[in-house]
Amino acid sequence: NSIYIIQYHSQVRDLSIGEGKLVRKGDKVRVLYEGRLSNSKGSVFDKTKDPKRAFSFIVGDGQVIKGWDVGVIGMRRGGERTLVIPPKMGYGHHGSLPEIPSNATLHFWIKVI
């Protein structure tokens, strides 16, 4: 469960490794996730934990925030990871109102399915 740093001080911590091939740029992935703000309440702003409602995207294609594009690289199916994403790798100074204020640090739990 080591914590390591990726681009622009994003933090990654593997909770479970999973099985199969490593996720790479260009792969289509399906994920379950929960996103929280880095505030005193740790407010949840978005989540999907139901496999029938899993979120799909192509890694590195810019369909998601940069923190996700680089944060899922190296995961495996069934693997779980937490990401701490600074504003530069998230929604920046614009935020994504009303849920995500400007310059918000984001915390995600992600599972590749």
27 classed as catalytic: no
65 classed as catalytic: yes
Catalytic residue among 69, 85, 91, 110: 91
Catalytic residue among 65, 85, 100, 110: 65
Secondary structure class of 53 (helix, strand, coil): helix
57 classed as catalytic: no
Catalytic residue among 33, 69, 85, 110: 33
Q: State the CB neighbour count (10 A cutoff) for residue 101.
A: 15
Strands 11-16 and 3-5, sheet pairing: antiparallel
100 classed as catalytic: no
Contact 72, 110 (CB under 8 A): yes
Catalytic residue among 6, 27, 45, 113: 45
3 classed as catalytic: no
Query: What residues are paired with 80 via a beta bridge?
Result: 16, 111
Tokens coding 103: 């310059």
Q: Is the alpha carbon torsion for 49, 79, 109, 15 positive or negative?
A: positive
Catalytic residue among 46, 58, 73, 113: 46
Catalytic residue among 69, 85, 100, 108: 108
55 classed as catalytic: no
Q: Which residues are catalytic?
A: 33, 45-46, 65, 91, 108
